[in-house]
Structure 1
């Protein structure tokens, strides 16, 4: 039996559900978050600000790709680039308020992945 996408597993209909608007919102969110490495970068900044080299070490992303993704996340208003004139000059990245608002969603997504995807043995640390 097919389940209507507007129904919860319990059979309750989602109040105020507008499929075209929801589809557009999800499409836009996944266009940004689904871009390779963006979610990983956001995840690396969840615990606080970090310099470029720190993000690179935490993620393993090449310099050119990391630079491109950080610029895109900054343009999208999810990350803030802060420059300390020094000396020495230092650049740090932190989650903007829009990025901070994603933290619970990212944590839920990590929990879902651990519970529902075959990820192999758990990592030694906590996410």
Structure 2
């Protein structure tokens, strides 16, 4: 007969699962990781991001930028101009994700078949 896991061990698993679920609720949406990675080089405007992320529609990009800003991963800065311009940049929390995104990219290169569309 096996001994049931301790309550402490069960709680640790649940906390880990909850944290991972929260992370993927934000990062698991299509284009979110790509948007964050695109801002790695520094602030960018909407048009610049739209041109650099092949395949994303303007409406989806706008949604992702709003969501990532709401989550505190990017900052939206408005320069009143003229002309008015808006730029997006990683926050400290967004920058902290870069090592994890690097690891995901490395894993994909090693374990997923190549994308034939690139």
* TM-score, structure 2 normalization: 0.84
**What SS does structure 2 have at the residue aligned with 1:83?**
strand
Gaps of at least 5 residues in structure 2 are: 1-10
DSSP-derived class of the 2:81 partner: coil
Partner of 1:93 in structure 2?
A: 88
Q: Which has the higher helix share?
A: 2
* Distance in structure 1 (CA, Å) of the matches to 2:12 and 2:107: 25
Listed one character per residue, the Cα deviations across residues 2-36 of structure 1 (whole Å, up to 9, x for unaligned) are: xxxxxxxxxxxxxxx91100000000001110011
Structure 2 partner of 1:11: none
Residue 15 of structure 2 corresponds to 21
Correspondence for 2:101:
106
- The structure showing larger relative contact order (alpha-carbon pairs under 8 Å, at least 6 residues apart) is 2
Q: Give TM-score, length-normalised by structure 1.
A: 0.79
Instruction: Please give the root-mean-square deviation of Cα atoms over the aligned residues, in Å.
Output: 1.5
